Amino acid sequence: MTLRTERVGEQLRAEIARVLREDVKDPRLRLVTLTRVDVSPDLGNAIVFWSAMDVEDAGREEAVAAGLEAAAGYVRRQVAHSLPLRRTPALRFRHDPSLALGGRTLSVLRSLGEAEHAGKHGGDDEVEE
């Protein structure tokens, strides 16, 4: 990615997040976080990566994906009015599991730390030879 596409991607991320938060009323899109936007070199297409806090619920990922797909045209029009781009990219949304994976990793690390702590302090009933 070039500096220009990175800059446009960040502007798009911020504006799409604002539109989703303030203008889109679809309940499927609550608690959605946009993690990054990858823009093609010709600025014709943008892949918007998203994550949601409760996406681990059965069917939640599909519901959010369907909600984002349904709102894509509206979001693109709103972004076209807000950002000074000659050409507003077509938006495609893709789930980014990194936040959920990071949360699980932290949980595992915490449990390992607690197990290690319990092993050091829980040995009062051991007998030394």
**pLDDT, tens digit, 9 for 90 and up, residues 62-116:** 999 999 999 999 999 999 999 999 999 999 999 998 766 665 666 677 777 777 7
Domain positions in the chain are: 3-120
8 Å CB contact between 108 and 83: no
* Encoded amino acid at 54, one letter: D
Residue 58 has pLDDT above 80, yes or no: no
Q: What whole-number distance in Å separates Cα of residue 124 and Cα of residue 10?
A: 55
| Tokens found for residue 40 | 């093609």
Residue 100 has a pLDDT of: 63
More confident residue, 75 or 54: 75
Confidence category of residue 21, pLDDT binned at 50, 70, 90: very high
Question: SS3 letters for 77-126?
Answer: HHHHHHCCCCCCCEEEEEECCHHHHHHHHHHHHHHHHHHHHHHHHCCCCC
Both tokens assigned to 114 = 């607690």
48 contacts 94 by C-beta, under 8 angstroms: yes
Assigned token pair, 92: 């495609």
Q: Does domain 3-120 have CATH number 3.40.50.300?
A: no
